[in-house]
Structure 1
Amino acid sequence: MSHVVDDAPLSSFHKKLALYSSGGPFLDGYILSIIGVAMIQITPQFRLSASEQGLVGAAALIGIFFGAFLGGWLTDKFGRHLLFTVDLIALVACSIAQAFVGDAVWLIVLRLLIGFAVGADYPIATSLLAEFTPSKWRGPLLGAFVTMWFVGAAVAYIVGQFLLTFADGWRWMLASAAIPGLIIVLLRMGTPESPRWLAKMGRHEEANEVLAKVYGPHVTLADLPEEGGANVGLGELVRSGYGKRMAFITIFWTCSIVPLFAVYAFGPAILEALNLSGDLAHLGSAAITVMFLIGCLVAVFLVNRMGRRPLIIHSFLWAGLALLGLGLFPSADPMVIMILFAAYALLIGGTQIMQWVYPNELFPTEVRGSAVGLASSLSRIGAATGTYLVPLALSGLGIGTTMIIAAIITLLGMVVSIAWAPETRGMTLGQAAALETAAPKGTRSRNRVLS
């Protein structure tokens, strides 16, 4: 069988598609981060209670939970191309509308809708990117996807701090997400539909047209590797071998982001509890954010060289040990504390990029978007719960116990990965999604991954 599509060189089309697709996580990081700065002005102006502040802050996360699942289902049913732009048009409109709200209720509603649009974009964009990208570049490009979250967060803090100097600056802050959103929408226009999805829908002539346009006039569906295994609907996932894969992805994803979201959301409070106070705590939080980004970039470099399975296991192991060190020695020298915190931020990068690599590789085209969306939604439950419990744990259990619990959650991700993580490096999407192909290779890797 021809491998002209999966062995194709990385073209300008692939690079542009990767850039346009990464707009979703950029906007996620921007939107979730800038609300923290805006709340400095919103809280006194609207006289928000503690519960109202929590709802304003959490509304986008709740929207992402629902949007990721529904967006995944919609992209499998109606295609990737249409929703690739429609979801962000909704985001732009709701972002602008935030500048005109007069009370907390409408702000919460709009934040919910914005989160919905951001959540929907994840399965849409990653499915499209995975289905066009050559095998050699699929891991790095999907992995690089997550790094844009931290770029978006950094830009949001810069913009927020600047606009904070103006009266009612919070209105401009929240509306400002429309600017990158509109740019991304315009860039995405004209992106072709996935030929794999078109083929699954029986639209072979359209699929051939897309393949000829992207890969050359002589490339047809005959050059597109078939996907192994029979067609499976989303409802059948739990009754087939794919149910085990869904459980693996949901558990490892949850174990990865529960401690990370907690550390990111409450970084200054955690560092102050570890005896780093004042400016040192804020500078430490900024430095850790940079380390998160660097960790993801290092993992992108290693995902093909090291392999998916070794990368995720080692990432969980060493990041978990760094958290364990913080839990066992909470009164250590400030420099030691910062080193351990930075080590965690750097080493957890492997699990972060695999949140987007594995889900897109381990499921067939007809349910890829739905599976990514469902796993993303389920993992957000644990992330929201963990984030909510952090301040309670800090006050009730103390910093040492809190960090030990975070270490246990992280190391649980390692155990699950040792048991279930397959190796999909170098495989076509069809080979990776086929139950009888991907699992044995992962099993063979299991005995040597930690050697």
Structure 2
Amino acid sequence: MSIRAVDEAPLNKFHRKLTWACAGGPFLDGYLLSIIGVALVGMSSELNLTTGDESLIGAAALVGIFVGGLFFGAVTDKLGREAMYTIDLAVLVAGSVLSVFATETWQFVVLRFVLGMAIGADYPIATSLLAEWVPNKHRGRLLGILILAWYIGAAAAYVVGYVLAEMWGTGSWRWMLASGAVLSAVILLMRIGTPESPLWLVNKGRTADAQKAIKKALDRTIPVEELLAASAAEQSVEQSRFRDLFQGTYLRRTLFCGLFYMCQITPMFALYTFGPTILGSFGLGEGNAGNLGSALISVVFVLGCIPALRLVDKVGRRPVIVWSFALMVIPLVVLGGGTALPIAVVITCFCAYALFSGGPTVLEWTYPNELFPTSIRATAGGVATSISRIGAAAGTYLLPISLDRLGIGTTMLIGAGITAVGWLVSFAWAEETRGRTLAETSALPGSERPASAGEEDRGSLRESGHSLRESGLGRS
């Protein structure tokens, strides 16, 4: 049986465990980025932090994510998914523990930067590992579940912050930071023992290890001769490198993945800020109750992702992302009416945007993993994450300035314009990858030829140039 068995395997306990373990990284991202916002209230008063100190502490993790995604994606393609999969979680545990005992601003800034690097590294590590293990027909949905974990983590942080603040007041901020260490340790334990990606092992010529990994995970024995043929095919072509992401077709795919990701999260960060203002109309935006309001915002975005999870595998990636961006523009344009709008209209627009944004959200990590070959898959995911964080950091920094100088209406129209750019990028460059093997989706245009009957029997698939050339890894 070929590695086709991996692509077409029924979902089992291993797939479910791997999905939840991989989702731990985005969950911790949402949790750690959000819990610091709650903890800063107590930190500021106890440590006499200035506004500049708070800004540095808040921004350090975003800068770390940029660096971590850009650098450690390439390291993951070189050293393997399995090793980095646990190392980055160990860094999260250590960094969170040390944060509990920090007393100086520079210590918090350094630790938040390190935590951000580990989070940024985990995105390409975990998503590439999951993409290379899950069956084709479930890949879009399972990768989409990972992004849901971000919102759940953010909501959990606000709830935990609310409970701790109610019990022990603002002085409980060290307990808030300690909670991140506990959660990181739990997820680290979940990840121990996960087998290496068979695609990565074959790409490196480690066919015997690939056979053992498949046996351990799926309890299926793959004839080593077929893996040897796949390995020989892999080694017979030039392996793609970091610079290939910025050449030819891969440049277009890199720009597509990074730009649509950035255009999706930049206005989203703006609405995360605008959300508490809306909830303030109902008395939920002040004091500790504001933490519950922020948790509710995260839940609304989770609800928006749920229908998209089904649609990406049922109707396809391209129609979902193109139509979602088009529909996302509408509520932002309406919100351009500013404070003159009735609160019911504002809430409706907010909910509509959250619903429509589910499409691009669940594809943030699907497309980078599908459009690039094994040798640069994690690298591409890391670059896309880094590009997106430029928008996140800029949105976080510029939003208060825009609200103060331009007003909420103009700020929302700017968000609509950014979203419209996301639609243009998707309309021009989004490819359809539903139901296809990773070898097929990552192949360069025109590099595949129809397989003959004899080749189908051998399970071989030919790819040229910088893409994979795999045997037994595609569908016959």
Structure 2 partner of 1:206:
209
On the 8 A contact 2:154/2:298 being kept in 1, the answer is no
257-266 vs 316-325, greater mean Cα deviation: 257-266
Q: CA deviation at 1:231?
A: 2.9
Distance in 1 (CA, whole Å) between partners of 2:356 and 2:37 is 26
DSSP-derived class of the 2:11 partner? coil
DSSP-derived class of the 1:424 partner? coil
On the 8 A contact 2:338/2:408 being kept in 1, the answer is no
Change (3 A) 1:39 1:209: same
41-50 vs 212-221, greater mean Cα deviation: 212-221
On the 8 A contact 1:32/1:153 being kept in 2, the answer is yes
What does residue range 224-373 of structure 1 map to in structure 2 within 5 Å?
Answer: 231-269=239-277, 271=278, 276=281, 278-279=283-284, 282=290, 285-328=294-337, 330-373=339-382
What does residue range 124-163 of structure 1 map to in structure 2 within 5 Å?
Answer: 124-163=125-164
Q: CA deviation at 1:285?
A: 4.9
On the 8 A contact 2:8/2:135 being kept in 1, the answer is yes
DSSP-derived class of the 2:445 partner? helix
Structure 2 partner of 1:166:
168
On the 8 A contact 1:229/1:434 being kept in 2, the answer is no
Between Structure 1 and Structure 2, how many residues are aligned? 437
On the 8 A contact 1:422/1:438 being kept in 2, the answer is no
Q: CA deviation at 1:306?
A: 1.9
Change (3 A) 1:76 1:434: same
Q: CA deviation at 1:56?
A: 1.0
On the 8 A contact 1:64/1:119 being kept in 2, the answer is yes
Structure 2 partner of 1:446:
none
98-107 vs 250-259, greater mean Cα deviation: 98-107
Superposed CA offset, 1:362-381 (max 9, x none): 00000001110011011101
Superposed CA offset, 1:150-192 (max 9, x none): 1111111111122223263111111211111111111111101
Superposed CA offset, 1:106-158 (max 9, x none): 11111111111111111100010000011011100000100001111111111
Change (3 A) 1:402 1:438: farther
Amino acid of the residue matched to residue 115 of structure 2?
I
What does residue range 23-38 of structure 1 map to in structure 2 within 5 Å?
Answer: 23-38=24-39
Distance in 1 (CA, whole Å) between partners of 2:110 and 2:414 is 34
Structure 2 partner of 1:449:
none
DSSP-derived class of the 1:166 partner? helix
Distance in 1 (CA, whole Å) between partners of 2:246 and 2:342 is 49
DSSP-derived class of the 1:435 partner? coil
On the 8 A contact 2:155/2:294 being kept in 1, the answer is no
Distance in 2 (CA, whole Å) between partners of 1:309 and 1:89 is 37
5+ unaligned residues in a row in structure 2: which ranges? 449-476
Q: CA deviation at 1:240?
A: 2.8
Change (3 A) 1:242 1:290: same
Distance in 1 (CA, whole Å) between partners of 2:251 and 2:50 is 42
DSSP-derived class of the 2:39 partner? helix
On the 8 A contact 2:96/2:180 being kept in 1, the answer is yes
DSSP-derived class of the 2:340 partner? coil
On the 8 A contact 1:6/1:133 being kept in 2, the answer is yes
Superposed CA offset, 1:23-48 (max 9, x none): 00000011011111101111111111
Q: CA deviation at 1:65?
A: 1.0
Q: CA deviation at 1:74?
A: 1.2
Q: CA deviation at 1:322?
A: 1.0
On the 8 A contact 1:130/1:360 being kept in 2, the answer is yes
What does residue range 33-52 of structure 1 map to in structure 2 within 5 Å?
Answer: 33-52=34-53
On the 8 A contact 1:68/1:122 being kept in 2, the answer is yes
Identity %: 47
Structure 2 partner of 1:196:
199
Q: CA deviation at 1:279?
A: 2.8
5+ unaligned residues in a row in structure 1: which ranges? 440-451
Change (3 A) 1:111 1:431: same
Distance in 2 (CA, whole Å) between partners of 1:438 and 1:336 is 51
Amino acid of the residue matched to residue 87 of structure 1?
D
Q: CA deviation at 1:278?
A: 4.1
Change (3 A) 1:220 1:146: farther
Q: CA deviation at 1:438?
A: 10
Q: CA deviation at 1:266?
A: 4.5
Change (3 A) 1:220 1:120: farther
What does residue range 9-20 of structure 1 map to in structure 2 within 5 Å?
Answer: 9-20=10-21
Give me the TM-score of the superposition, normalised by structure 2.
0.87
DSSP-derived class of the 1:106 partner? helix
Superposed CA offset, 1:423-451 (max 9, x none): 00010000000022699xxxxxxxxxxxx
